[in-house]
Structure 1
Amino acid sequence: MSEFNRIGLVGRAGSDRALGTLKRLINYLQGAGLEVVLEEETARSLSVPDLEVSNNDTLGKTCDLVIVVGGDGSLLGAARSLCRHKVPLLGVNRGRLGFLTDISPNDIEARVEEVLAGKYIMETRFLLDSSVVRQGALVGTGEALNDVVIHPGRFIRMIELELYIDGQFVYSLRSDGLIISTPTGSTAYALSGGGPIMHPKLDAIVIVPMNPHTLSSRPIVVDGNSEIRIVVGEHNRAYPHVTCDGQSHVVTNPGDQILINKKPHKLHLIHPLNHNFYETCRSKLGWGSHLGE
């Protein structure tokens, strides 16, 4: 008997390709005699009768496994909603890049069958919590699997920040912003900003300045348990935004403090047995293959 008997499904809303794959997945899972539960927004898009529908909280509490059909953005959203429940996530790629959603829809039945039979790799990924404090009062929070980004908002303006790590002053910075990334996010926005690729098993955070005024301001990698504090400069003309995974955002004022640290809840991510991080980098980032091939 499979350890996964009650399967939650989350799909990318508005994507015909994702919805088609979801219907195929529902037929397979029901044919295998498993309980299928649809996330409520997915259910509204899918219009499949006679299936149980739940919100994210209930999905996380009652399911043994949640399968996300969509792109990496879909899995990022599911991770933020479900990580506190420790339910494992499995991603089916119906997006573009697919660093996190690594099952191809072409062989979905075979790969899901292997997972249900216990043939899979389980790994954990940590998330970040962020909060904005103004004159001692909390004014906004967010969480991110990829990154927390401090940026000037709609208008491109240089912003001034002070960076502290574990209470120690690191530097003052004039730049277009700052990216604070997990290893999971190191192949996303942080990479385009010149940050290093970090293996997902690393317990580390990378801090990447965006177009810094001083070229000596380079990305730095710190311990994953670091307490990061960023003070928004008093003389900023811009009101920097704090954005988590490109979704939730808080607008700061000069003098505000942005606090970032590791979230206590981790994402449990399932991969097929043939998953290989370096092969994923080769295929997604266009790295060279073996010499002579």
Structure 2
Amino acid sequence: MADFKHVGLIGRPGSERALHTLKRLIRYLHSCGTNVVLEESTATALPGHTMEVCSYEALGKACDLVIVVGGDGSLLGAARSLAKYKVPLLGVNRGRLGFLTDITPNDIENKVGEVLDGKYMMETRFLLDTSVIRKGALIGGGDALNDVVVHPGRFIRMIEFELYIDGQFVYSQRSDGLIVSTPTGSTAYALSGGGPIMHPKLDAIVIVPMNPHTLSSRPIVVDGNSEIRILIGEHNSAYPHVTCDGQNHVVTNPGDEIHIHKKPHKLQLLHPLNHNFYETCRSKLGWGSHLGE
């Protein structure tokens, strides 16, 4: 029996479908005698409730489990805020693909009930820490569960940069940018950029060029403990953006440095017992089923 007495809830803001599922989930959790705690912005969508309301920080400290109702984007945001508190996350999918949020709304009572009974799988996923350095000073940064992307921003033009891994020069490149992805993010933007699918258990980082100005430039998979440094070229006419999980943005200047490495704390992600990474790939990416089916 799992000891999930205090369960935090985070819902996708502005989504009627997520709100409907959230209300159904609350009714079920209350029927199980579970203490339900709402994240602040989620609580505003439920006027008149009598449940405890907490910030992300308080949620991470007070809860034994946090359930996210929404798409992968909702879970990415929760993961970046809560991973350091070591509170496990469980996703209910009300988005589109749903590689991370793998419980369907129709299975809420069954699958959440199994998790509350201790019948679940736990995975750990690492995040990336990003810092933008200008003339020796930190000007911005962020965390990423999926990926860190260097791109030209609103303007479609090539950018110039140099890539270093563990202090060693790798190459200079002119391209539309660079994707630095975790295994979790390998089925997201990096995949559309031609990167490999990596199993979530791998301790590795993939670096994927975006439309490079040479046919010989290919994705590189490196050790997960690698220190990655990207030096923005002095002669760029664009001011490249650094985006973490598509949600946090920093604008760089020519000469800035972007430092990327693994964060020390990991996300604890729960799945139902029947979770299968390859089955998820088959259903989400349209891979072929057994011959004859």
TM-score tier after normalising by the smaller chain length:
over 0.9
Could you tell me the TM-score, scaled by structure 1's length? 0.99
SS in 2 for 1:214: coil
SS at match of 2:281: helix
Distance in 2, matches of 1:261 and 1:2, equals 33
Aligned pairs (5 A) from 1:1-293? 2-293=2-293
* Deviations, residues 64-83 of structure 1 (Å, cap 9, x unaligned): 00000000000000000000
- Tell me the SS of whatever aligns to 2:87: coil
d(CA) in 2 for partners of 1:291, 1:184: 29
Give a deviation string over 1:96-149, Cα, whole Å, max 9, x none.
Answer: 000000001001000001001100000100000000001101010111000000
Question: Partners in 1 of 2:23 and 2:103 — Cα distance?
Answer: 16
Q: Secondary structure at the match of 2:143?
A: strand
Tell me how far apart the structure 1 counterparts of residues 48 and 276 of structure 2 sit (CA, whole Å): 35
Q: For 2:2 and 2:77, how far apart are their aligned partners in 1?
A: 27
Q: Tell me the SS of whatever aligns to 1:67.
A: strand
Question: What SS does the corresponding residue of 2:68 show, helix, strand or coil?
Answer: strand
Identify if the C-alpha distance between structure 1 residues 136 and 238 changes in structure 2 by more than 3 Å, giving closer, same or farther.
same
The alignment partner of 1:217 has SS state of: coil
Name the aligned partner's letter for residue 153 of structure 1: G
The percentage of aligned residue pairs carrying the same residue is 81
Aligned length: 293
Distance in 1 of aligned mates of 2:211 and 2:49: 51
Cα distance, 1:49 vs. partner? 1.4
Q: Tell me the alpha carbon deviations over residues 142-190 of structure 1, each in whole angstroms, 9 at most, x when there is no partner.
A: 1100000000000011000100000000000100000000000000000
Deviations 1:260-292 (A, max 9, x none): 000111100000000000000000000000111
How far, CA to CA, are the matches of 1:278 and 1:48 in structure 2? Answer: 43
Q: In terms of mean alpha carbon deviation, does 43-52 or 258-267 score higher?
A: 43-52
Matches of 1:176 and 1:94, distance apart in 2: 32
SS in 2 for 1:77: helix
> Within 1, Cα distance between the matches of 2:72 and 2:271?
14
> SS where residue 82 of structure 2 aligns?
helix
Q: Deviation digits for residues 239-264 of structure 1, max 9, x if unmatched?
A: 00000000111100101000000011
Consecutive unaligned residues of structure 2, counting only runs of 5 or more, are none
What is the CA RMSD across the aligned residues, in angstroms? 0.7
Using the TM superposition, give the Cα deviation of residue 45 of structure 1 relative to its aligned residue in structure 2, in angstroms.
1.4
Counterpart secondary structure, 1:267: strand
Q: What is the SS of the residue equivalent to 2:24?
A: helix
Deviation at 1:46, TM superposition (A): 2.1
Structure 2 residue identity aligned to 1:29: L
Moved over 6 A (4+): none
Q: Distance in 1 between matches of 2:118 and 2:107?
A: 17
Cα distance in 2 for partners of 1:169, 1:259 equals 14
Question: 1:197 deviation in Å?
Answer: 0.2
Shift of 1:48: 4.4
Amino acid in structure 2 at the alignment position of 1:112: V
SS at 2:236 equivalent = coil
**1:215 Cα deviation (Å)?**
1.1
- With the length of structure 2 as denominator, give the TM-score of the two structures: 0.99
